[in-house]
């Protein structure tokens, strides 16, 4: 599912990123949890991933949500799958999502958590309620192992990848974008300053978490919850399954060997050193590649 904020909110979100993007996460999570309880009678589980851009690097705030196709009962003994070909009705989701977001936005304005021009909110409120908000409910990803590939594509992406950059010449940047109408990849040229401005629109506040887990996928009790769900579905537990290494698991699921050298496509990448996490109380260390003698001793 994809939940999108109206572009009328873009100037406010860009000025107050942390509170309003947190509001977006809260409104979407509350909406999905309510629908899971009211429509399917149990606790839903889903992962939400924030995106802030469109193909032309303009502001486009939306959440991609990977949602389970069913719920677990309150006693954790029964799994109920969705009886329909779709999980929830997109129009109904849109109305509830808009209502929950607007309630939180109104509270933030009234309590001066965000600042707006004087007497401008009533007109903005009317404008935001004038049209339905965009919620897209998409088909399940099949086969299921491609879910991992889907998450890998969307989890740590930045606004634009190197593959889309075409040329930097005479103070202008040319890159490719996908036209949603023609489904073609087309070139777009911007002044370098404008390109940098658009790219920096998508920087997030320090420490902001753009990937969040909810319901039975919530971080604190995830392993316990998933074990109970597997028991309800009569699926094998982790203790009954063989444990593969990460490279072999990725190869079997996606067909991609990420240890293969990206340049020669023949050799395999080897770990030569690990950079430790540095906290404020730790002495900084310099990591050097091991010498031949060190490798021989290992």
Residue 148 has a pLDDT of 67
pLDDT at 205: 94
Q: Are residues 101 and 180 in the same domain?
A: no
Q: Render 187-227 in DSSP notation, one character per residue.
A: EEEEEHHHHHHHHHTT---TT---EEEEETT-STTHHHHHH
Is the same domain home to 190 and 47?
Answer: no
In a shared domain, residues 122 and 187: no
pLDDT tens-place string over residues 172-182? 999 999 998 88
pLDDT bucket at 3, cuts 50 / 70 / 90? very high
Residue 281 is predicted with a pLDDT of 53
Report whether pLDDT(200) > 80: yes
Give per-residue pLDDT as tens, 78-118: 999 998 878 999 999 999 999 999 999 999 999 999 999 99
Average pLDDT over residues 117-142: 92
Same domain (yes/no): 88, 172 = no
pLDDT confidence bin for 279, thresholds 50/70/90: low
Decide if 65 is inside a domain: yes
The domain tally of the chain equals 2
Per-residue pLDDT reduced to its tens digit, 206-220:
999 999 999 999 988
Task: Give the pLDDT of residue 203.
Answer: 94
The larger pLDDT score, comparing residue 158 to residue 33, is at: 33
Q: Is residue 33 part of a domain?
A: yes
Instruction: Give the whole-angstrom CA distance, residue 61 versus residue 6.
Output: 8
- Residue-number span of the structural domain to which 122 is assigned: 2-159+207-232
Residue 252 sits at φ, ψ, to 5 deg, of: -70, -35
Both 108 and 169 in a single domain?
A: no
Same domain, 105 and 125: yes
pLDDT digits (tens, 9 = 90+) for 41-66: 999 999 999 999 999 999 999 999 99
């Amino acid at each position: 599912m994809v939940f999108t904020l109206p572009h009328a909110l873009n100037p406010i979100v860009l000025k107050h990123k942390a509170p309003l993007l947190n509001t977006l996460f809260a409104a979407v999570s509350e909406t999905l949890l309510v629908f899971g309880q009211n429509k399917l009678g149990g606790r839903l589980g889903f992962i939400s991933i924030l995106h802030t851009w469109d193909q032309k690097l303009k502001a486009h705030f939306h959440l991609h949500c990977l949602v389970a196709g069913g719920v677990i009962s309150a006693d954790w003994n029964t799994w109920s799958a969705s009886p329909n070909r779709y999980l929830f009705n997109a129009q109904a989701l849109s109305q509830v999502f808009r209502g929950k977001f607007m309630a939180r936005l109104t509270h933030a304005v009234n309590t001066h958590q965000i600042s707006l021009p004087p007497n401008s909110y009533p007109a903005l409120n009317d404008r935001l309620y004038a049209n339905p908000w965009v919620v897209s409910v998409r088909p399940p990803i099949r086969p299921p192992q491609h879910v991992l590939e889907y998450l890998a594509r969307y989890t740590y992406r930045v606004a634009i990848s190197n593959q889309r950059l075409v040329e930097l010449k005479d103070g202008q940047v040319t890159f490719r974008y996908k036209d949603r109408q023609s489904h073609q990849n087309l070139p777009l040229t911007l002044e370098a300053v404008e390109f940098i401005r658009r790219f920096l629109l998508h920087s997030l506040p320090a420490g902001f978490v753009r990937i969040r887990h909810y319901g039975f996928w919530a971080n604190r009790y995830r392993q316990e919850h998933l074990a109970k769900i597997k028991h309800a579905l009569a699926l094998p537990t982790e203790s009954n399954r063989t444990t593969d290494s990460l490279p072999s698991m990725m190869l079997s699921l996606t067909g991609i060997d990420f240890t293969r050298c990206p340049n020669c496509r023949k050799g395999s990448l080897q770990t030569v050193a690990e950079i430790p996490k540095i906290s404020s109380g730790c002495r900084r260390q310099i990591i050097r590649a091991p010498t031949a003698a060190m490798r021989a001793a290992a």
